[in-house]
Amino acid sequence: MDKSAITLLIKEEAQRLGFALTGISKAEFLEEEARDLETWLQEGRHGTMEWMAQHFDKRTDPRLLVEGAKSVISVLHNYFPDPSHQLPADAPKISTYAWGEDYHAVLKRKLYALLEFIQVKVGAVSARVFTDSAPVMDKAWARRSGLGWIGKNTNLIHPKMGSWFFIGEIILDLELEADGPIKDYCGTCTKCLEACPTDALTPYQIDSNKCISYLTIELKENIPAEYRQKLDGWAYGCDICQEVCPWNSFSQVHHGQEFKPLDHILEYNRKDWTELSKSRFSKLTRPSAMSRIRFEKWLDNLDASREES
C-alpha cells in the first residue's frame, strides 16, 4: 500500500474514532520553534513549570522520542459544549475543558485504537502516543500539519472550527503523505489581548506568570495578592481568550459522551464547592482534569476568585 493510500485510511479511521480533524507532518527538528522556546524559557515566562525546560532536545526533535521516526500524526478532538450547559450563576468559573472526563484518558484511548488500526493495515511500526503528557510541542505539530494557525492568544485556531480542541499525536517510523501549514488569519484583531484581565498576552506570546490558568492550576502556591482581584471569578483555568475570539463563532457543539459535563459541574454553586470535604472533593474530581490540583489549592482558588477588583 502506498503512502497516499494509507494516509487516507488513517484519516478516515481517525474520523470514525471521533477525531474532528487529522493532519500529517514530517518528523524533523523544529528549528524555528526551538529558537522561540529557548527565548521564552530564558525570559522566565514558564513560571514555576520547570518541566518545560527539561528534555529540550526531545521536545524539539521527535526522532529522539521514537527512533527512526518519519511522521507525526496530529489529531484534534472537539470539546465545545452545548450552549444549554451552563454553570450556576453563583458558581466559581471552571474551564470548559475540565467539565467532563479527563481528556488525557479519552484521547489516549482513541489514539491507541488508531495505532492498532495502523498496525493491522501495514504491520509492525515503532510508535508512541502523546497528548499533553510528554515533551512534545502539540500546537507546533498541529500547525505544521495544517490543522490551524497559532493565534495571538497562543491557541491553535482552525478557520472553520475555531479553537475548542484537544490535541494529540502519534509519532511513528512510517512515512506518510505530509500536509502543509495554513495561513495565519488573526489579522489586525486584538480582542484576546484586550480581554485578558491580567495582561498575560502579547501578540503570539503568553507570560505564564500572569495567566489565570497557570495561577489557578500550575502554580502550587497560593495566588499572589497582585492577581487575586483580577481573576474575574475563575477558580480553575480560564476560557476568556477563547470566548472572545471571533473564529470561535464557527465552533460546533461536540456530541460525544466523553466530555458531557459531570453532574456536579452543572449543579454545584460556590457554597456547595466551599463546603466539600477533602475526600468528597477528591472523589468528585477524580474522573476529570480537575484532579490535578490539591484540595488546599482549590480552597485558595475559591477564596481568590470571589474577590472583586
How much is the average pLDDT of 4-15?
98
Question: Over the stretch 64-79, which tens digit does the pLDDT of each residue have?
Answer: 999 999 999 999 999 9
Q: In this predicted structure, what is the pLDDT of residue 266?
A: 96
List residues with catalytic annotation: 132
> What confidence category does residue 218 fall into, taking pLDDT thresholds of 50, 70 and 90?
very high
The answer, yes or no, to whether residue 307 has pLDDT greater than 90, is no
The answer, yes or no, to whether residue 134 has pLDDT greater than 90, is no
Q: In this predicted structure, what is the pLDDT of residue 308?
A: 65
The answer, yes or no, to whether residue 133 has pLDDT greater than 90, is no
Percent with pLDDT over 70 in the chain: 99
Look up the pTM and report it.
0.96
Whole-number Å distance between alpha carbons of 204 and 33? 12
Q: What is the dihedral of CA 154, 157, 163, 167, to 10 degrees?
A: -80
Q: In this predicted structure, what is the pLDDT of residue 256?
A: 87
The answer, yes or no, to whether residue 309 has pLDDT greater than 60, is no
Question: Over the stretch 183-208, which tens digit does the pLDDT of each residue have?
Answer: 999 999 999 999 999 999 999 999 99
